[in-house]
Amino acid sequence: MKLEINNIHKSFGEKQVLKGAGFTFEQGKIYGLLGRNGAGKTTLFNCLSGELELDQGSKLLINDKRENGNDNHSEKLAPDDIGYVFSTPILPEFLTGYEFLKFFIDINKDKVSIDKTIDDYFDMVKLEASDKHRLIKGYSHGMKNKLQMLCFMISKPPVILLDEPLTSFDVVVALEMKKLLREMKETHIIIFSTHILQLASDLCDEIVVLSKGRLQKVDHELLHSRDFEDRIIEMLGDEGESQESGGQGKEVQ
Ligand SMILES: Nc1ncnc2c1ncn2[C@@H]1O[C@H](COP(=O)(O)OP(=O)(O)OP(=O)(O)O)[C@@H](O)[C@H]1O
């Protein structure tokens, strides 16, 4: 399975944020999306999730399965294909975690593993028994993110977007979530935005930089090299070069 985005443009009034962003994201990998403040990472996620209309461009989900004699079956990315973990989680605060999850499981009955109970799901993200029956309103940011992650483990959308989620987790939970994401990547396309370079090099299989409205892949070799941070900072600071580069998934070495 692949997510192919082509020539995405998005402006707010006079401000052009995405200027022909293109890239192919593959199942089985965690992609780290890096970019300066205001580069357009959230805008890109909102365009992918359908929160925002594209001004121009396309987004296709390509399944590598044989259908009607064709090897690849591609279709427009639909909102249901996306699981979006917001940096500020949006959840019904007037319900308890347990009530919310029960409701979510009920409306996703067809997708739920029958061998799992609500408590099993809570155990998967290590949410304390005492917290399950508390109102979501009183949950910490990290606990709300965990609940969002649980929703995607239930509804299993093929593409998961995470907008700086791990920054709100304590070290123990962050480790658990990293483990979870590594397990989930086999069956999903996972893209997460972060400003923490250490986290990106530790967790991600590929790094993609959003600069001047376009996406650039960072050479895989660089990911675990000693020059990684210096090179990324150079790329993020090098506005002129990225504007000239064309950026349709261009690899930076
Ligand atoms: N709804 C909107 N209306 C007008 N301008 C917007 C809107 N959403 C985003 N922008 C502008 O688009 C640009 C990109 O914003 P975006 O939030 O996508 O950046 P970001 O890379 O996620 O930034 P950060 O790392 O600081 O979270 C910013 O200049 C922002 O002010």
- CB atoms inside a 10 Å sphere around CB 109: 8
Does ligand 1 lie within 6 Å of residue 17's CB atom? yes
Confidence (pTM): 0.86
CA 22, 253, 191: angle at the middle one, nearest 5?
40
Alpha-carbon gap, residue 252 to 169, rounded angstroms: 31
CA of 238 to the centre of ligand 1 (A): 20
Does ligand 1 lie within 6 Å of residue 12's CB atom? yes
215 phi, psi to nearest 5 deg: -105, 135
Does the structure show a pLDDT above 70 at 252?
A: no
- CB atoms inside a 10 Å sphere around CB 103: 12
Q: Is residue 147 a contact partner of residue 80, using CB atoms and an 8 Å limit? A: no
- Which range, of 14-18, 60-64, 162-166, 191-195, averages the lowest pLDDT? 162-166
Sheet holding 2-12, edge to edge: 15-26, 2-12, 56-63, 73-76
Q: Is residue 240 a contact partner of residue 206, using CB atoms and an 8 Å limit? A: no
Does ligand 1 lie within 6 Å of residue 37's CB atom? yes
Half-sphere exposure of residue 166: CA atoms within 13 angstroms, side-chain side? 26
CA of 104 to the centre of ligand 1 (A): 30
CA of 40 to the centre of ligand 1 (A): 5
Q: What is the residue-averaged pLDDT of the chain?
A: 85
pLDDT confidence bin for 35, thresholds 50/70/90: very high
At 127, list the tokens.
């949410």
Does ligand 1 lie within 6 Å of residue 77's CB atom? no
- Non-local (6+) Cβ contacts of 212 within 8 A are 19, 239, 242, 243, 247
pLDDT confidence bin for 49, thresholds 50/70/90: very high
Does ligand 1 lie within 6 Å of residue 212's CB atom? no
Domains delineated in the chain: 2-89+157-252 (3.40.50.300)
Q: According to DSSP H, which parts of the chain are helical?
A: 41-49, 97-107, 118-124, 129-132, 141-155, 171-184, 197-203, 228-237, 239-245
CA of 17 to the centre of ligand 1 (A): 8
Tell me, what's the pLDDT at 16?
96
Does ligand 1 lie within 6 Å of residue 39's CB atom? yes
Q: Is residue 27 a contact partner of residue 189, using CB atoms and an 8 Å limit? A: yes
Nearest to 170 by CA among 207, 145, 138: 145
- Which range, of 50-54, 169-173, 179-183, averages the lowest pLDDT? 169-173
- Non-local (6+) Cβ contacts of 82 within 8 A are 48, 49, 50, 157, 159, 160, 161
- CB atoms inside a 10 Å sphere around CB 67: 9
Tell me, what's the pLDDT at 160?
93
